[in-house]
Structure 1
Amino acid sequence: MEIALQGKRVLVTGGSRGIGRGIVLAAARAGANVVTCYRQEGEAVESLKAALKETSGDHHVLRADVGEIAHVDQLLAETKERFGSLDGVVNNAGVISHIPFAELPADEWSRVVDTNLTAAYRVIQQSLPLLNQGSSIVNIGSRGAAAGIPLRAHYTAAKAAMIGLTRSLAKELGPRGIRVNVVAPGVIETEAFDTMPAERAAGLRATYAQKTALARLGTVDELAGPVLFLISDLSRYVTGETVNVDGGI
């Protein structure tokens, strides 16, 4: 059984790289019309535009830094102008840094929490007038939210809060037929592995081969699959859940 999203209108934040890019392309190939956003111009943005141009459907790649409330509001205004309504929202955009908690500056705490959590609040809130009956919201979390990760207290706190936000909204929005779920990735191999030294990349692969039941890293497509399932009508009785896509870490 293939997941079909024909005609669905989907917003994916942070779609030019990594997991977000994989979700955007997978959704478009499954038949969805996709709006996505990026923060900085670059080759990744241009190559995404080119890939979407070759994929059937009505797709738009817009510039917006979701860490800024004004940018989120503009993104949703432009989405309304282009699509009129939405069937799916994927809150994927995020940032991360590695800083000992004792040295963590207040502005860095705010930057990470605002981009990973506050942006999702605002995107969902501003999407509500656009969401059709039976719509699906998917928040990209992190397996680290449950495990806890040293040097990432700000990031882990934001991703853990995303689970609480999701559970509350699933109950609040359920009577409207809107579902809200979390997909929590483990370690997914993105194009970032191509830019790091080969020795470091090999070391990471070896480390996580020992830590996961499946003895390997995940792929972007393996993460996109569960997201598309949750957007699709196949999951219309699934809400308030956290789906761990981590290879059994």
Structure 2
Amino acid sequence: MKLQGKKALITGGNSGIGLATAKLFVEEGAEVIITGRNQQTLDEAVKLLGPHAHSFRAEITDSAARKEAFQKAAEKFGKLDIVFANAGIAGNTPAGKTSEELFRQIVDINLTSVFFTVEDSLPYLNDGASIILNGSVIGTLGQPGYAAYAATKAGVRALARSLAADLSPRRIRVNVVAPGATKTPIWSRNDSRTTEQVSGLEQQFSNVIALGRMGEPEEIAKAVLFLASDDSSYVQGVELFVDGGMTGTPFGGPAARG
């Protein structure tokens, strides 16, 4: 097992990519703490994950709550070996139609809180630990209507590179996993979206992805596992795209092949 005896903390570990990653980490021998805002989904996730998983309810934008989560993790585990800063939100911010409040909210959750998640974890990390930040292909691709989200994910990439330089003397690795379109609950959280509309979005994305389909959360989790484990012991400051070719071959999808 790749993570035997390792201790990990995953923010936003109660659904989607975070939950899939927590499940894989446990299967690979780790003990895992997940955090999230919703106590019900946290409880459901821990029940699914089994006795090697624990949860703390914490709002990642709340400095005191974030610090307390790491203190509790240290009380339970001692030092941590892995932190996956996964929590984040999407948000439509079209030019000319976006409020400052929404823009700041997206930046606060997706970028500011990611930096301070790492910052708050440092006293509780073993030397040689692995930090993984959750990015996105949208930090590279120019998708209309997502300026704030794109800026935060590009910022996550830049954060990782600078933090990797800062933390290399402790042999702490900092890398980014950058998912493409992935089947997670985020697509149906918007109450105005019908099942048919979600299905249409999936088809739309699949047509422009070289491999012809959206990704599964478990596929992203496997990439996070690689970055968390000793398999990536000489990988530092990278952005690993897990997107079916969406970024590397943008004209490789079924729609472009005719």
Q: TM-score range by the shorter chain?
A: over 0.9
- Does 2:213 correspond to 1:240? no
Alignment of 1:108-119 (within 5 A): 108-119=102-113
Partner residue of 1:231 out of 209, 228, 233: 228
**Inter-partner Cα distance in structure 1 for 2:38 and 2:97:** 28
- Helix, strand or coil for the counterpart of 1:189? coil
Long gaps (5+) in structure 2: 247-258
- Does 2:198 correspond to 1:201? yes
Q: Which residue of 2 aligns with 1:140?
A: 134
TM-score between both structures, scaled by the size of structure 1: 0.92
Partner residue of 1:215 out of 192, 212, 216: 212
Amino acid at match of 2:202: R
Q: Is the 8 A contact 1:14 1:20 kept in 2?
A: yes
Q: Which residue of 2 aligns with 1:172?
A: 166
Q: Is the 8 A contact 1:134 1:236 kept in 2?
A: no
Q: Which residue of 2 aligns with 1:82?
A: 76
Q: Which residue of 2 aligns with 1:91?
A: 85
Q: What whole-Å deviation, never above 9, does each CA across 1:67-105 have from its counterpart, x for those lacking one?
A: 222221111111111111010110000012213232322
- Helix, strand or coil for the counterpart of 1:101? coil
Q: What whole-Å deviation, never above 9, does each CA across 1:3-58 have from its counterpart, x for those lacking one?
A: 6111100110011111111111111111111111111233x3232021122xx53x
Q: Is the 8 A contact 2:95 2:145 kept in 1?
A: yes
Q: Is the 8 A contact 1:72 1:119 kept in 2?
A: no
Q: Share of identical aligned residues, percent?
A: 38
- Does 2:187 correspond to 1:189? no
Moved more, 108-117 or 157-166: 108-117
Q: Which residue of 2 aligns with 1:23?
A: 21
Moved more, 21-30 or 221-230: 21-30
Amino acid at match of 2:81: D
- Across the aligned residues of Structure 1 and Structure 2, the Cα RMSD in angstroms comes to 1.6
Aligned residues between the structures: 243
Cα distance, 1:242 vs structure 2: 0.2
**Inter-partner Cα distance in structure 2 for 1:69 and 1:79:** 16
Partner residue of 1:154 out of 148, 152, 155: 148
**Inter-partner Cα distance in structure 2 for 1:190 and 1:124:** 24
Moved more, 73-82 or 180-189: 73-82
Cα distance, 1:194 vs structure 2: 6.8
Q: Which runs of 4+ in 1 moved over 4 A?
A: 192-196
- Does 2:96 correspond to 1:102? yes
Amino acid at match of 1:132: N
Query: Judging changes above 3 Å, is the alpha-carbon distance between structure 1 residues 190 and 170 closer, same or farther for their aligned structure 2 residues?
Result: same
Q: What whole-Å deviation, never above 9, does each CA across 1:178-228 have from its counterpart, x for those lacking one?
A: 000000000001245677633223212221221111100000110000100
Long gaps (5+) in structure 1: none
Q: Which residue of 2 aligns with 1:39?
A: 37
**Inter-partner Cα distance in structure 2 for 1:191 and 1:113:** 21
Q: Which residue of 1 aligns with 2:255?
A: none
Q: What whole-Å deviation, never above 9, does each CA across 1:141-188 have from its counterpart, x for those lacking one?
A: 000000022222111111111111101111111121100000000000
